[in-house]
Amino acid sequence: MLKSRCLRLSALLAAVVMVVSLCASCGEGSSDDGKTKLVIWAQETDDVLFGAIADYEDENPDVRIVIETQGSTSLDMAIQAETAPDIIWGPSDYVATYGEKGQVLDLTEFGADEVRDLFTDACWNVANAVPDKIYSLPFDSNIINFVINRDMFDAAGATVPTTYEEMITAANKIKAHFTGDGYYAYTAPYGCGETLYKAWGTFQYYWWLWRMGGDIFNEDQTKCIINEQAGVDALQRLTDMIHNGLAPATYAGSEFYTGAKIAMIEDTTTGFFNVGVASNTANFEIAMMPVLKEGVDPWTGMGLYCYSVVSTSENPELAYDFVEFLCTGVDYQITYCKPYYFIPSLIEAQEDSYFKTSDWKVVLEQAKYAKATPGVDNWISMDDAIYDAINQAFTGAKTPQAALDAVAAQVDSLLNK
């Protein structure tokens, strides 16, 4: 997330219902009434999850499903204490780590491969980043979108960009037209030292990195490669936006949504609808991410929440059966996603008339080109180090190459701990 932090910064502003706290009864196979008991760890619970449980229990009267919040207890600790749940809900980038540690099950043995075609490729691939393993079924997602202020574009005579070159042309037109203090063509999370924005700042760099054809790690995640040419070029381009006066040195996200002084930004789907559309301060539009390098897809970032079966469950087949029941339920996904402006992972759910507006059509097209941060141990420490490195380039303390060379070595040392 930020592990999924970055994509849920605005998404998690949605009201959620917190349920009973974690207790020592987690993972027990039977309840006081003699029914088979399944425990789910969930932190975002609402009527959809409760409704799905009620529906499942109606169809399976010998089963009782209990929701409990994870609290501060890690899955590692719960497994060691024999208090782990049967099912865990959480961000996709944790799943790979859980799976590689043997803490969640490969769901292939329960037939998960048979439902694969019900989900979008992007959501499935993000939920199951480890080759030949199915550690989770996806549920809801949120992506980063390219958002413009149509009013400022029209005033400057600028065209919505589809490539990097067009983006710079548009930015220069906007800069030339709007000459007062605080007017900028673009803003990104530069110079934000607060913990809240650190992972948001690095994630911004990652989707530029991906659109330049680079990546954070090599294919088997044994070496950090952000200091290769694609990574350096991505950081140089972001740095140039500041040095050429096209973007402020510190993040101006809130100023964008006042509708007056910033023309381009990247934001979550939920942020666009909850803040941009709701503000009604300007004509905000979603567009596809500009292509940064010929032949490379317009990649963006995705945050995805999914469900997995814990390896210590006494009833793993039954636990998977409920996970499949919930995650393949079209009505459950539609009902859950609409109020929060989340994106369903089911192809059929995305066919609902709600998602047929012009903005949603662009969102769903952009979602085909979405990746997530990697699920590796020590990721948060790595992410923090990368944040410090890219800001050294933004401030001019180091060249992009020097900053990324240093942090690649630092990340490698963390990777091999």
**How much is the mean pLDDT over the chain?**
89
Task: Please tell me whether residues 186 and 149 are part of one structural domain.
Answer: yes
Domain that holds residue 352: 5-142+302-371
The 10s digit of each residue's pLDDT in 119-139 is 999 999 999 988 889 999 999
Express as a percent the part of the chain with pLDDT over 70.
90
SS3 of the chain: the string is CECEHHHHHHHCCCCCECCCCCCCCCCCCECCCCCEEEEEECCCECHHHHHHHHHHHHHCCCEEEEEECCCCCCHHHHHHCCCCCCEEEEEHHHHHHHHHCCCECCHHHHCHHHHHHHECHHHHHHHCCCCCCCCCEEEEEEEEEEEEEHHHHHHHCCCCCCEHHHHHHHHHHHHHHCCCCCCEEECCCCCCCCHHHHHHHHHHHHHHHHHCCCCCECCCCCCECCCCHHHHHHHHHHHHHHHCCCCCCCCCHHHHCCCCCEEEEEEEHHHHHHHHHHHCCCCEEEECCCECCCCCCCCEEEEEEEEEEECCCCCHHHHHHHHHHHHCCHHHHHHHHHHHCCEECEHHHHCCHHHHCHHHHHHHHHHHHEECCCCCCCHHHHHHHHHHHHHHHHHCCCCHHHHHHHHHHHHHHHHCC
Same domain? 147 vs 216: yes
Residue range 33-60, pLDDT digits in tens = 789 999 999 876 678 999 999 999 999 9
Query: Residue 84 belongs to a domain with what CATH number?
Result: 3.40.190.10
Query: 19 and 128 in one domain?
Result: yes
Asked if residue 284 and residue 257 are part of one domain, the reply reads yes
Do both 192 and 270 map to the same domain?
yes
Residue-wise pLDDT tens digits, 247-294: 998 888 888 988 779 999 999 999 999 988 888 889 999 999 999 999
Span 143-179, pLDDT tens digits:
999 999 999 999 999 999 999 999 999 999 999 999 8
Same domain, 195 and 224: yes
User: Are residues 151 and 201 located together in one domain of the fold?
Assistant: yes
State whether 137 and 157 are in the same domain. no
pLDDT at residue 140 above 80?
yes
Total tally of structural domains belonging to the chain: 2
Question: What does the pLDDT read at residue 32?
Answer: 65
pTM score: 0.89
Using pLDDT thresholds of 50, 70 and 90, give the confidence band for residue 30: low
Residue 312: pLDDT band by 50, 70, 90 thresholds? very high
Asked if residue 84 and residue 221 are part of one domain, the reply reads no
Q: In this structure, are 307 and 210 located in the same domain?
A: no
Please tell me the predicted confidence (pLDDT) of residue 10.
Answer: 36
In the chain, pLDDT over 90 holds for what percent of residues? 73
